Structure 1
Amino acid sequence: FMLLCLFLFLLFYTGEVISVNNTPAIIQQTGIKTAKVGETVTLSCSCKHDSVTHMFWYQQSLGGKPHMISKRMKQSTEAEISSAYEKRFQVLARSGGSVNDLIITDLLALDSGTYYCVVLRNAVIEFGQGVFLHVKTSPSDTQSSIQQPKLQLLRPGESVNLSCSVYAERCAEEPNLYWLRHEELQPAVMYPSDRHCTSALNGTFNGTYCTSNLELHLVRSSDAGIYHCALASCGVVVFGEGTKVEIVVSLLLVYCLSVALMVFILGLLVLSSLVYKLKLTPLSSCTGEVRHYCLLPEKQAESLHYAALNLKRRDNRQRQEDIENVCVYSGVRSRK
């Protein structure tokens, strides 16, 4: 029991040390943040490590490459803003250098994308988990729309094919479709999507009709969340309302697993108790005769000595008195 407690303590202590050593250098807002055109938004970021020397902000539009917005030394409160962002973007840096918030004013539709807080630490560049900023436009500014189911219930191990229907405005660019998973306190996860588009003429709408599917194989509890179908077209990003995927676990399965766990723990306790009692129980002597028989060649049989042992149970006092009278017989064979 003491060894088990010591093992658990060492395991807990080791886990604590590993968690401290693996503490991320960047504390950044994650998930999906939604704002409207013309509003002002603040994206938070901070850093606690003294080994960090520089801090940056990067923007990555859907399907594009990351572009640097700003950079500054950690101990400085002034940031250098790239020319493409200097009019509406600014960095809020406080004394001490740990805060590196990004403020965007007068939001535009093209500001939609993933924003990464980046640090330079021990000559290595580290990216934060990123936050996806969705800038919503007025319905009158675009005719694009997305339709997708609201709820999908699944059991662990099942597979599903999420789908969405998209009406995209006709423009010079081809419409691009994406899937993003949103879950509280978790970074937004982007999935590639296959699209099938055809020309559509529906009343006053003259554009492109597309369908997109996302296959989820052998789902687990970690796959739960809201899956948004996103359209990037004509410089605008349009989000669907999202399909909420819930992983439903059978109550019977939970009950059976709980009972099995309880039986296992009880069995382990009983086994530990039996082992403990066996260790405390003294070994008793036995009564009987032990004889050994050997078959040897005739030449060796002449020099062989036989001994018979008679074991009888005696009390401790008598055994102590007879210790000095115990004889040990052995046979010695010599060459003639």
Structure 2
Amino acid sequence: MGTSAVDAFLLTIGDDVSFVHQEERFVFVKAGDDLSLQCSYEPDVGTRFYWYKQILGQKLRLISSFYKYNSDYTFYGEFNNNPRFKLDTENHKNHLNISDLHISDSGTYYCASSFAYNFDIGEGTTVSVEESLVLVYFLSGALGFTTILIVLLSFSVYKMKSKNNIQFSESQSRYPANTEVSSAADSLHYAALNIRAPNASRRQTNATDTDCVYSSMKK
């Protein structure tokens, strides 16, 4: 039972020896820009050449293939009839050109070659497409500044609390808790005196005129 091309491709991922060479391992680009993924191969190695794309957590997807003796190439699936994707196959090259980059173009791209059932694969190029690199740098700087500001504010609050605790301790030592407040010692005692008028009439004697006199006594 023969081994399929894709199975052979999967078995060769991570091999140290490769006859196809990808120029870059990581690429960061802005949406809307153009990108050329570079891949070259040895003249006497391989007859068919491919590009694959892999998104983290998903299976490999075949992008393109071409036969080096006539330079005809074919795109597959979602990449077929998509004018943003083109191949440059001149002079032992298998360059994948992508124009007007989209966020969905992010992923890892592998250049590969085959001869019979033998597959060879490049190192892979990981492409990250951002809305705006300027915005990314700005947000990263703002995040760093905010972090520093939070640390400084936290330190200031800590210093203020420490200062208040020291002042409170000094106040406690200067005025002990068992010291009586002088105003509490100045208590008022009130007495009410009833004074009856001496020449009051009989009728008036039944009704007592009472004057309330208050005096204060100080200990």
Higher strand share: 1
Match status 1:115 vs 2:109: yes
Report the CA distance shift for 1:105/1:123 in structure 2 as closer, same or farther (over 3 A).
Answer: same
Larger radius of gyration: 2
| Deviation for aligned residue 1:54 | 0.5
Which ranges of structure 1 fall in alignment gaps of 5 or more residues? 1-21, 151-336
User: How many pairs does the alignment contain?
Assistant: 124
- Which of the numbers 87, 92, 95 marks the counterpart of 1:91? 87
Match status 1:130 vs 2:114: no
Report the CA distance shift for 1:72/1:140 in structure 2 as closer, same or farther (over 3 A).
Answer: same
| Deviation for aligned residue 1:49 | 4.4
Deviations 1:8-49 (A, max 9, x none): xxxxxxxxxxxxxx8621111232111111111000101114
Contact 1:72 1:78 in 2 (8 A): yes
Match status 1:71 vs 2:65: yes
Provide the rounded CA distance (Å) in 1 between the counterparts of 2:126 and 2:74.
23
| Deviation for aligned residue 1:72 | 0.9
- Which structure has more relative contact order (CA 8 Å, sep 6+)? It is 2
Normalised to the residue count of structure 2, the TM-score between the two structures is 0.50
Higher helix share: 2
Contact 1:91 1:101 in 2 (8 A): yes
Report the CA distance shift for 1:90/1:139 in structure 2 as closer, same or farther (over 3 A).
Answer: closer
| Deviation for aligned residue 1:128 | 0.9
Provide the rounded CA distance (Å) in 2 between the counterparts of 1:41 and 1:140.
18
| Deviation for aligned residue 1:51 | 3.5
Which ranges of structure 2 fall in alignment gaps of 5 or more residues? 1-15, 145-219
| Deviation for aligned residue 1:136 | 1.2
- Which of the numbers 79, 93, 103 marks the counterpart of 2:97? 103
| Deviation for aligned residue 1:68 | 0.6
Report the CA distance shift for 1:139/1:52 in structure 2 as closer, same or farther (over 3 A).
Answer: closer
| Deviation for aligned residue 1:76 | 2.3
Provide the rounded CA distance (Å) in 1 between the counterparts of 2:42 and 2:88.
16
Percent of residue pairs identical:
28
Q: Give the residue type in structure 2 aligned to 1:138.
A: S
Q: Give the residue type in structure 1 aligned to 2:27.
A: K
